[in-house]
Amino acid sequence: MPDNGRKADTVTLTIDGREVTVPKGTSLLDAAGGLGIDVPHYCYHPGLSAPAQCRICLVEVEGAPKLQPSCVTMAQDGQVVHTESPAATRMRKGVLEFYLVNHPLDCPICDMSGECKLQDYVFEEGREKGRGREPKRVFGRDDFGGDVLFYGDRCVMCTRCVRFMEEVARDPRLTVVERGSRAVIDTFFERGLEGASYAGNIVDICPVGALVSKDFLHKARAWDLDHTPSVCPGCSQGCNIELHTRDNLVQRLKPRENPEVNGHWMCDYGRANYEWMNRPDRLKEPAVGRGSDRRAADWQEVLQLLFGRLQEAGGAGVRLVGSPFASNEALAGLAALGGEAGSVEAGVFRSPRAPDEDPLPGFPTLVRRRDLAPNVDGAGILGFERTGGDDGSGGLEEVAGHEGVIVVLGDRLRDQGEDFGANASLFVYLGTVDSAAARNADFVLPIATFAEEEGSFVNVQGRLQRFWQGMHAPGYARPAWLVLGALAGALRGEGTPASAEEAFQRMVQEHAAFSGLDWDAVGAAGTRLEAAHA
């Protein structure tokens, strides 16, 4: 019986001589993809409807009277499909020649060069020489508003952008005007993409260089960029993204597919929220001493001095200030250090909040959340309480005048005065940039941003998600989990965590919410915390 049920839900067919079994309702294009066979396509995108209009994905199906569009032809039992037959390859060559009739030779100046599907397909199987003699059509450049520029000359009329705005954003601001050789994408009645919260996704899904980002325009060549899987720091949704970096700078953020979190998409707020990672005024070396007595020191000296001061403060009241931009491993290290240094009287964090949420109507799982920080839920799980207002200010009055130990991680203390921590017996500030409120800190310790280290966040769905190191931290800045882990470990008589994985395992052992989790098993897609206890 189970075998019959399995057979009823799947079909078996042959593609290019290889047998494959796929679920019913799978297109030939996706079935081929499962075998590692890339059938060229433009109009098809897995997150959109399939109009089957680009005509480059046609394949030969034995028994069919003509070539079939693989994006809308469903796999059937016993089908025999050829993607590389003479008829299929001849058709693709002809369609590519058709696309090139009016396409300009913009590759040397086009931002999509190196990522362009027209460029790739023509290189693989296009004609060696063009036969066109007539002048190419000229549409020029159009500013669609927001961050989007449109180059009509390069457009292959796949209509992905139009369908995204209609089906996913459900904000139909784009359409095809005119017909035939005069057809072009345009906005409705001069209403551009200004204010559209998810319009940047049409740049991602454009298969050629027709839609480009103003922010990224002529900034870097695709082949010069390093791609690192990460998590968007813009809000508590935790969209899966890629950091695209060059010369140790973040050049852009791109969505990374995760059906459970953000699908293929991300919001424009998160997309534009990266310049803070490139700040030139970063803390680069540890320092000791308050105010005018502050001096630079190496890590060995700083940690030895700080260890001694923490031992002297044993039993004192401890106030901890965390940050929802810090990783779980760093916050767990902060909590551990506070517990070893004395009696923790409070552990708080502050987070900026938007007035309301901004969902993506066609993919309602994706929402630009009110909390504009990636690890609000992780901070709560690890015992830190939210304080302050919706703008991320206030709420530190009791901490500011505390007379015991104060440890601040990641919070830049923008709204705090120069008297912050003046009465503290020991004030430790771990940050990425200096702060006027840190002038009374006995120790100023430079730490890495999430883009410069490995770690994890917990998003609003209770999903633990890993991120990877995409850049080098400036100067002598180090991951916060390493610094805090070294201090907590020394107070406990243990060693320093040698990696983010080891810091993660310490957190798993000390916090029940994370018990049962394995670093490698979390993977690139993440896992829900409750799944670890199922």
The mean predicted confidence, pLDDT, of the chain is: 94
> Is the separation of the CB atoms in 157 and 151 below 8 Å?
no
Residues 130-151, mean pLDDT to the nearest whole number: 91
Note the pLDDT of residue 1: 38
Which DSSP state fits 29? H
Note the pLDDT of residue 314: 74
Residue ranges and CATH numbers for the domains of the chain are 2-98 (3.10.20.740), 134-224 (3.30.70.20), 287-533 (3.40.50.740)
Pairing relationship of beta strands 184-187 and 58-61 according to DSSP bridges: unpaired
Write out the two tokens for 225: 């960029």
Note the pLDDT of residue 182: 87
**Amino acid letter, 78:** G
Residues 93-106, mean pLDDT to the nearest whole number: 93
Write out the two tokens for 521: 């098993």
Note the pLDDT of residue 189: 73
User: 4-8, 282-286, 293-297, 410-414 — which is least confidently predicted?
Assistant: 4-8
Phi, psi angle pair for 18, to nearest 5°: -115, 130
Write out the two tokens for 477: 């800045």
Question: In sequence order, what E strands does 83-210 have?
Answer: 141-145, 148-151, 174-177, 184-187
Note the pLDDT of residue 159: 97
Note the pLDDT of residue 532: 55
Answer whether residue 190 shows pLDDT above 80.
no
- How many alpha carbons lie under 13 Å from residue 246 in its C-beta half-sphere? 10
pLDDT band with cut points at 50, 70 and 90 for residue 2: very low
Q: What is the pLDDT of residues 24-73, one digit of tens each?
A: 999 999 999 999 999 999 999 999 999 999 999 999 999 999 999 999 99
Pairing relationship of beta strands 455-458 and 463-467 according to DSSP bridges: antiparallel
Answer whether residue 249 shows pLDDT above 70.
yes
Quote the CA–CA distance of 449 and 224 in Å, as a whole number: 22
162 against 133, higher pLDDT = 162
Percent of the chain with pLDDT over 90: 91
Quote the CA–CA distance of 45 and 284 in Å, as a whole number: 44
User: 93-97, 119-123, 188-192, 391-395 — which is least confidently predicted?
Assistant: 188-192
Write out the two tokens for 72: 């809308």
Answer whether residue 463 shows pLDDT above 70.
yes
Residues 378-384, mean pLDDT to the nearest whole number: 97
**Amino acid letter, 383:** G
State pTM to two decimals: 0.93
Helix (H) or strand (E) holding 466: strand 463-467
Note the pLDDT of residue 342: 81
Q: What is the pLDDT of residues 166-185, one digit of tens each?
A: 999 999 999 999 988 889 99
> Is the separation of the CB atoms in 67 and 88 below 8 Å?
yes
Question: In sequence order, what E strands does 218-339 have?
Answer: 226-231, 240-246, 249-255, 287-288, 295-296, 316-321
Helix (H) or strand (E) holding 23: strand 18-23
User: 213-227, 262-276, 520-534 — which is least confidently predicted?
Assistant: 520-534
